[in-house]
Structure 1
């Protein structure tokens, strides 16, 4: 008899030839039942692939038995209609990637993990059937789970969110998310969560959200994900349309992600202090490529490649306490003035914009339609440095706000070429009011040091 590779795998995962229970399970006095080589076969508890009826009760029974025996639960290939099934403590469910489907039976979460120390899911495909759900209701919903591992799973057609995490730690790794009405991964008040190497596509409002109810240290890492085609179906002027969104969560690292085609922003940090945005690549967004805004203190935006935005990087909102930043060694191309999805008025055309206690250094900016680097805006301008940047093919190379009476900025050792309207210009509310400060000093620009720039 010829066996296919899939048949061999299925025999290994779901065969019942080896029915030996772990010693600790036998000692509990649990009735013996068939085990595969890797765990307990869910089919022994009445789960039938392809059945049209709701099989939530059968799956809940199988999970209870697997937990009692300390064994993983194995789900054979096929589709299972289930909903509201609760994961026991230390539960592991194993499916066949791309073959084992958990389909919502009634629009509610398919699986729920609540107030447990550990759970692990792998090889499962969740299907929400595009049934509308309450906001941030996930196909998989976890609350207060110490260590949750979700790997090699797929989430599709969620009525709101693919995965919702509340006060959870663990790893969300190498999963696929597609066609979410709202968001792929929504995590709030996390405990050093890791979200990495996931593929996220076609979401209504956001890709990954790392939030906190109150500002505080979060410690999450968002690394190596592919995020594409994020819309802004819910509207608004920033809460939607983001590839990756950090809100009030401090100490977050967002690193090495590939992001494409976001309605507003590739990566938006709102009020998260100590956030690092490192080595990401973003192409095509409707507003700001990288945003650190509102009540943040301490942000590092470094080594990113950004292309086709209204603004490459924006570090703003001194009026809400936004301050202390480094924007370094980024490549920003094609920042073009345009109307954002929430506005009819065009704006932007800036490579980098900063306001307070910020160092802008070592960046390469090409084709910013209006200004390569904007230092300050209106009165929001304090302790700024732009050094060692290369700026070419722009309207103004570097603009400096002259509105505040007390100001302090250094513009030095930059290379500026093909700046049509001047290399370094003083502005008031965005309007040029000085001559080119690389050619001659201007009394209106007191407090601004301009030195050793190479201009062509």
Structure 2
């Protein structure tokens, strides 16, 4: 067996210690150094954590980084700043959950206007619950075509966490918590993608996409966890929604896990061609999934709704709301609650539709009003209700039979355990027919009721 000479051992030990020291030096460097070669180190530009306001130093550093085309990297710690403008093309990077930019006064922490590209990564922004107007944010972007936010956290916004105006981009793997208004408020968006993020405890809405005039904007809200959305400012449904889309067409809302919304898990107002699919929606305080007012085209499929005032509604034919499918959803455990706009109570409906809608392959259980409802007064046209399972509801399927309603087909459904009837015709809120599941449509024009299984 060959033994190393003492000198060799000493040399090996020195080399090991030198390598260890080099490794320790790498470990002490900012964790983003290797990922961003050539980044400017904020500390060398005068940016140091502490109580002093760093707004001017950060502004100068960002200008230099944009001018040189290099990322600006901030070491861990808390930096107090406010009203810092982001120049076009800048990339600002921190150590995730360790680099914090805290609002030191009124106004946003960071803002940008008219930029083609802005990138933020691995930074926590703290709004300190400093009050702001309804259309302001801890981060504000106007006319920014390419925003990229990755692994960003925004806490305690006094208004919105992120405010976008005529802007587009991608927000991925972010966390928003405790906003006074919404986590994300976009007006007249240019295609916003919010994915794989966590939104907690927003006090009026979780995600709000709004347009001043109806138009397509190709936004995607997908695979997010949204919990405990409040309705601090009240109203009849504008607040209290985990995802709220108004006049924005072509929006895809899919794969989100939504819990405890004061009003709706998803509310689409006058939004054409909206797709609401594969969402988990638990414990909504009012209508869980809602397509309302002057919309055309809504696909609502494969969602699970457990606990809500109403389950799924496609409504407001009187305002031009029409055209949709409700397919393959599971809706259960609905409840009645006080009306928002009058005395008495209401709600308790599993699925409700009015015009040009196919309701197919859904399962509804435990609705204290009706499992599935077609129409309200004269507002009914071209509805089919086929192949659904309705269990343990007060009324299995209800349909409007007011004079002048359009065609409705109720065929091939399984209705079990309905307390008042399998299929009943209504004039507004009053029962107007015997059980049509037993006697057929009874000669009512345009109504077909056949081959339903009643137990």
Q: Which interval holds the TM-score relative to the shorter structure?
A: over 0.9
Measure the CA separation in 1 of the matches of 2:21 and 2:290.
Answer: 54
User: Taking structure 1 as reference, are residues 336 and 4 closer, same or farther at Cα in structure 2, changes over 3 Å only?
Assistant: farther
Deviations, residues 380-427 of structure 1 (Å, cap 9, x unaligned): 111111000000000110000011324310000101100111110000
Shift of 1:341: 6.5
**What is the aligned partner in structure 2 of residue 11 from structure 1?**
29
Larger radius of gyration: 2
Shift of 1:7: 7.5
**What is the aligned partner in structure 1 of residue 232 from structure 2?**
233
For the 8 Å contact 1:208–1:243, the answer to whether it is kept is yes
User: Taking structure 1 as reference, are residues 364 and 46 closer, same or farther at Cα in structure 2, changes over 3 Å only?
Assistant: same
* 1:131 correspondence with 2:149: no
Shift of 1:246: 0.5
Shift of 1:316: 0.4
For the 8 Å contact 2:358–2:384, the answer to whether it is kept is yes
Shift of 1:446: 2.7
* Aligned residue pairs, count: 437
For the 8 Å contact 2:32–2:95, the answer to whether it is kept is no
SS in 2 for 1:43: helix
Deviates more, 1:334-343 or 1:65-74: 334-343
- TM-score, normalised via structure 2 length: 0.92
**What is the aligned partner in structure 2 of residue 110 from structure 1?**
109
Shift of 1:286: 0.9
**What is the aligned partner in structure 1 of residue 296 from structure 2?**
297
Deviations, residues 165-189 of structure 1 (Å, cap 9, x unaligned): 1111110111101111111000111
Deviations, residues 122-144 of structure 1 (Å, cap 9, x unaligned): 01101011111111211110011
For the 8 Å contact 1:360–1:386, the answer to whether it is kept is yes
Measure the CA separation in 2 of the matches of 1:123 and 1:196.
Answer: 16
Shift of 1:115: 0.1
User: Taking structure 1 as reference, are residues 287 and 3 closer, same or farther at Cα in structure 2, changes over 3 Å only?
Assistant: farther
**What is the aligned partner in structure 2 of residue 151 from structure 1?**
150
User: Taking structure 1 as reference, are residues 138 and 110 closer, same or farther at Cα in structure 2, changes over 3 Å only?
Assistant: same
Shift of 1:4: 13
Shift of 1:14: 7.4
* 1:42 correspondence with 2:60: no
User: Taking structure 1 as reference, are residues 192 and 132 closer, same or farther at Cα in structure 2, changes over 3 Å only?
Assistant: same
SS in 1 for 2:64: helix
Measure the CA separation in 2 of the matches of 1:263 and 1:302.
Answer: 22
User: Taking structure 1 as reference, are residues 230 and 4 closer, same or farther at Cα in structure 2, changes over 3 Å only?
Assistant: farther
Measure the CA separation in 1 of the matches of 2:408 and 2:323.
Answer: 14
1:251-262 to structure 2, matched below 5 A, reads 251-262=250-261
For the 8 Å contact 2:436–2:442, the answer to whether it is kept is no
1:326-341 to structure 2, matched below 5 A, reads 326-339=325-338
1:120-199 to structure 2, matched below 5 A, reads 120-199=119-198
**What is the aligned partner in structure 2 of residue 201 from structure 1?**
200
User: Taking structure 1 as reference, are residues 10 and 122 closer, same or farther at Cα in structure 2, changes over 3 Å only?
Assistant: farther
SS in 1 for 2:434: strand
For the 8 Å contact 2:175–2:197, the answer to whether it is kept is yes
Q: Which runs of 5+ in 2 are unaligned?
A: 1-16
Measure the CA separation in 1 of the matches of 2:174 and 2:210.
Answer: 20
SS in 1 for 2:253: strand
Larger % of strand: which? 1
* 1:358 correspondence with 2:357: yes
**What is the aligned partner in structure 2 of residue 250 from structure 1?**
249
**What is the aligned partner in structure 2 of residue 61 from structure 1?**
60
* 1:381 correspondence with 2:399: no
User: Taking structure 1 as reference, are residues 340 and 59 closer, same or farther at Cα in structure 2, changes over 3 Å only?
Assistant: farther
**What is the aligned partner in structure 1 of residue 283 from structure 2?**
284
Deviations, residues 189-223 of structure 1 (Å, cap 9, x unaligned): 11121111110000110000111110011110000
Shift of 1:5: 10
* RMSD of equivalent CA atoms: 2.0
Q: Which runs of 5+ in 1 are unaligned?
A: 19-34
Deviates more, 1:353-362 or 1:331-340: 331-340
For the 8 Å contact 2:205–2:243, the answer to whether it is kept is yes
For the 8 Å contact 1:13–1:36, the answer to whether it is kept is no
**What is the aligned partner in structure 2 of residue 25 from structure 1?**
none
**What is the aligned partner in structure 1 of residue 6 from structure 2?**
none
User: Taking structure 1 as reference, are residues 429 and 207 closer, same or farther at Cα in structure 2, changes over 3 Å only?
Assistant: same
User: Taking structure 1 as reference, are residues 85 and 226 closer, same or farther at Cα in structure 2, changes over 3 Å only?
Assistant: same
User: Taking structure 1 as reference, are residues 339 and 329 closer, same or farther at Cα in structure 2, changes over 3 Å only?
Assistant: same
Shift of 1:37: 3.7
